[in-house]
Structure 1
Amino acid sequence: MAAEQTVSTGRAQRKLPPKTGIQQIFRISSVDSLRALRRLAAAAISAAALCLTNAAPATAAPIYPIPESDAFYWAPPDLANFRSGDVLRSRAMPTAVYPGATAWQLLYRTTDSQNAPIAAVTTVFVPSGGGDNRPLVSYQPFVNSLGTRCAPSHTLFNGGLQEGPALNVLLARGWALAVPDHLGPTSAYGAARLGGRITLDGIRAAKRFEPAGLAGSPVGLAGYSGGGMATGFAAALAPEYAPELPIVGAAQGGVPVNIGKLALEVGGTPNPLFGLGFAAAMGLEREYPNELVMDRILNTGGSELRARIANACTDEIIAAGANRSFGDVFTTGMDADETTVRILHENSLETFPGVPRAPIYQWHGAADQVSPVLVREVSGRYCAAGTPVLLDMIPGADHASAMLQGIPRAFDYLADRFAGVPAPTNC
């Protein structure tokens, strides 16, 4: 099992570009923002698990988001004829906020949780000088939304993506980037395994897109919190789902590795971010429409909230659900049925049997509300299977401060993997 100690990546941290810093980059400066992030993962995932309890075979359809009006996102009728990761269409994007870079959006074929073909979008950035098989990082943002308008392919360019400015730090290193809409075409927030598949197929698409010049690029993965879940699942799925991808390392932080256990620990009391958890339940219902249904367990208040946030982004969801509890929206108890347990296990890294083969940098706040104990256990399981894991438990850090402290270390970790430096481990 990975040692319970604070570690470094074994090389000096690189300086960020002038007049930047991680807090500035992520626009986290107020006390209120930090407090919100401290509660984010726990509130979001716990409600997701609990509000799907006692589900039975669906008798009503989920509420899906308003379809994309932009025809670029529409899947072609012959989608099933393409391979996973095949590019269906592409378009160039403006890069005023990413100076010197060239950007494209790619629509590509991937698969949902029932192995049916779906179309997804990734945004690819190549820094000045072109592709030339330079390192490629797939960066998974923490997206906690139900509206397709909230996806990175939109918010990267309208200022809505909180992590957007940090991408310039990676581009300044000379790395190409792929930023997938990892919640998928129905914004299935909470469906982490789906996010892993979309991430891997987005990398395939970026490498197959000839104008980007990335066919021979080594690949790194990075993400935090909800983005860390998609990153973690991409790393765990890769040996079987995409074994051909040359993934040299994954940096994942603040990951809720068991959404069911987290629910039991923190669910059931009024929470300022209750709406995020309710939204995650709606996302899982969208991804498993024939197995999960919320209608049978919602009271009038729950039905109203569900309709109100069906197309909402993070801030709108938080405002709509603020300080509610389960009793305000549900009519049943908390005993989960077998179907719900199975689906929660499928979307929790602790219970998902896949093991990454690429080296892992796993960072987590020792004071995080998302259980550090479970993160240690998952890291230990990976170590036992022979995966080099560098577990970085940051003393005294909660969910927000661990993100800020770990991001520079994560980038340095990936730089070493791209440079061919042997992966450090504290297994």
Structure 2
Amino acid sequence: MNPRRTTRSSSTAKAPHRHPRHPHNPAGRGTGRLLAAVVAATACLGVYAVPAHAAPAATGTEPVVSRGVTIPAFYNPPARLPAADGALVRTEPLTLGLRLPGLDGRPIPGTATRLMYKSTDAGGLPVAVTGAYVEPSAAWKGGGPRPLVALASGTMGQGDQCAPSLALEHPLTIGNKTLSVGYDNLAVYRFLAAGAAVVVTDYAGLGSTDRLHTYVNRVDEGHALLDAARAAHRVAGASITEGSRVGLYGYSQGGGASAAAAELQPSYAPDVNLAGTYAGAPPADLTEVMKGIDGSALAGALGWSINGFAQTDPSLRAVVDAHINATGKAALADTSTMCVGDAILGYGFTNSKKWTADGKPIADIIAAEPKLQAVLAAQRIGRLKPAAPVRLATGIQDDIVGHKQARQLAVDWCRKGADVTYKAVILPNLGDKLLTNHLAPLLTDQGSAVSWLTDRLSGKPVTSNCWTMPVQP
């Protein structure tokens, strides 16, 4: 169904590329207008046009090509990894796509380093994760030593060319087979302007070429984010210290990753000096989130979820093969190399009934399969208590990553006695299933989210507003 990825020769892509062309999407014109707005908003950050022919790989390695994009040899993991979680495997300079020369010779907003570091996946196995660390040019004016923000990006896709570290280098990548937008770069630059160092994780399998990205796997993502914070402290020339406060930040997929990391931190990474976490629109209950994604502009994310969980638990492949028809299997293979822009254009507003053998939506199949129910139940965020303050924000009109399930995460944490600041983002309905209700709070609440987390990094106290939950929407 979706074989483990391997590195291939320069004339052959690493993952499948010769898929049947997806049928014309009757909603494609509306999708195109939505994506055009996103692209236009990001175009000022710099564009990387995919070359017609793949560039040669570094000497002594075979290139990996994903939808026409050659992945730098840096992203090929070695055969052996260090023992310690967060240990650096390798680093190299990374050029930010948007930068200005500074008067002191240092670029503004900072100097970036590409990273590969060791983490542990949900199965307890070592995994190489890539990312980027950015040392800010601005001075930190808050309390204590310069802090660190570990940022988990929102949905970027499943192809290695979609990695957030590559998006820092090429904020907008356009080619005949791929479209990637680094929309979380804005948050990165806001923290850098405040003088906080930033480390961005690519997650397990996104960028690193030895496996498939395990999309919305809470343990893989939580570990990758916490280990990114550990790795940042080991970067040569980093001005953060062992005593530096650490903040976690993420929205959408990133919100789920930061939320998972916040509640895993006491047991997995007690050495990380966590001061606070922002979790925006977190997909805390995947059973409910899959219902919202089905038939939406982001319907292709269903493929990423199925692919990722089948990789984590190979026994699921038999279940998937039994329920997914030929059209669905082709879509799973196709989406496995897509970025979010490709998926919107190729599979936006697709109903999962078209992918199933019996014509039932995937939600109905999950409801009838105990094994699938157990897999999604194990991904539920909110069963553990974060030790540090958390700000959780969710748009009341969000119909992609549903508002109710995100609010329930705040309720679950409040009941455990966690220090939770809950924010319901009240906006009008901006269009059903279009992503607009999901993306709008990312922008409208970002300033407040950055300010809240910056205050935590400065050591300012905060008081939970769990007592307002009965009256907040």
TM-score range, shorter chain: 0.7 to 0.9
Aligned equivalents of 1:388, 1:272: Cα separation in 2: 35
Q: CA deviation at 1:68?
A: 7.6
* 1:97–1:218 CA distance, 2 compared to 1 (3 A): same
The corresponding residue for 2:104 is none
Aligned equivalents of 1:167, 1:125: Cα separation in 2: 9
**191, 197, 218: which is aligned to 2:223?**
197
**398, 401, 404: which is aligned to 1:368?**
398
Q: Which amino acid aligns with 2:152?
A: Q
Instruction: Output the aligned Cα RMSD.
Output: 2.8
Question: Residues 191 and 347 of structure 1 are in contact (CA less than 8 Å); yes or no, is this contact kept in structure 2?
Answer: yes
Q: CA deviation at 1:209?
A: 2.4
Aligned equivalents of 1:222, 1:326: Cα separation in 2: 31
Greater alpha carbon shift after TM alignment, 355-364 vs 157-166: 157-166
The corresponding residue for 2:177 is none
Question: Residues 121 and 181 of structure 1 are in contact (CA less than 8 Å); yes or no, is this contact kept in structure 2?
Answer: yes
The normalised TM-score by structure 1 is: 0.79
The corresponding residue for 1:11 is none
The corresponding residue for 2:300 is 275
Q: Which digits, 9 at most, give the CA deviation of each residue in 1:88-114, with x for residues without a partner?
A: 111111235144211111111101110
Asked if 1:71 corresponds to 2:76, the answer is no
Q: CA deviation at 1:65?
A: 7.0
* 1:267–1:211 CA distance, 2 compared to 1 (3 A): closer
Residue correspondences, number: 367
* 1:165–1:371 CA distance, 2 compared to 1 (3 A): closer
Asked if 1:285 corresponds to 2:310, the answer is yes
The corresponding residue for 1:232 is 259
**407, 415, 419: which is aligned to 2:454?**
415
* 1:73–1:378 CA distance, 2 compared to 1 (3 A): same
**105, 108, 111: which is aligned to 2:114?**
105
Q: 3-state DSSP class of the match of 1:118? A: strand
Q: CA deviation at 1:386?
A: 2.4
Q: CA deviation at 1:156?
A: 1.2
Question: Residues 65 and 310 of structure 1 are in contact (CA less than 8 Å); yes or no, is this contact kept in structure 2?
Answer: no
Q: What does 1:39-54 correspond to in 2, within 5 Å?
A: none
* 1:68–1:83 CA distance, 2 compared to 1 (3 A): farther
The corresponding residue for 1:26 is none
Aligned equivalents of 2:197, 2:162: Cα separation in 1: 23
* 1:349–1:281 CA distance, 2 compared to 1 (3 A): same
Q: CA deviation at 1:267?
A: 6.7
Aligned equivalents of 2:404, 2:71: Cα separation in 1: 44
Aligned equivalents of 1:300, 1:255: Cα separation in 2: 32
Identity, in percent, stands at 26
Question: Residues 276 and 321 of structure 1 are in contact (CA less than 8 Å); yes or no, is this contact kept in structure 2?
Answer: no
Q: CA deviation at 1:246?
A: 0.5
Aligned equivalents of 1:404, 1:123: Cα separation in 2: 23
Q: CA deviation at 1:376?
A: 3.0
Q: Which amino acid aligns with 1:137?
A: V
Higher relative contact order (CA 8 A, sep 6+): 1
The corresponding residue for 2:190 is 169
Q: Which digits, 9 at most, give the CA deviation of each residue in 1:188-226, with x for residues without a partner?
A: 223232111100111111012242132332100111111
Moved over 6 A (4+): 64-68, 129-132
Greater alpha carbon shift after TM alignment, 146-155 vs 182-191: 182-191
Question: Residues 130 and 212 of structure 1 are in contact (CA less than 8 Å); yes or no, is this contact kept in structure 2?
Answer: no
* 1:124–1:328 CA distance, 2 compared to 1 (3 A): same
The corresponding residue for 1:83 is 84
* 1:424–1:292 CA distance, 2 compared to 1 (3 A): farther
**388, 396, 401: which is aligned to 2:440?**
401
Aligned equivalents of 1:143, 1:267: Cα separation in 2: 12
The corresponding residue for 1:54 is none
Any stretches of 5+ residues in structure 1 without a counterpart?
1-29, 37-63
* 1:313–1:31 CA distance, 2 compared to 1 (3 A): closer
Q: Which amino acid aligns with 2:322?
A: R
**201, 205, 210: which is aligned to 1:180?**
201
Question: Residues 389 and 418 of structure 2 are in contact (CA less than 8 Å); yes or no, is this contact kept in structure 1?
Answer: yes
Aligned equivalents of 2:221, 2:403: Cα separation in 1: 22
Q: 3-state DSSP class of the match of 1:420? A: coil
Aligned equivalents of 2:33, 2:426: Cα separation in 1: 20
**359, 364, 385: which is aligned to 1:355?**
385
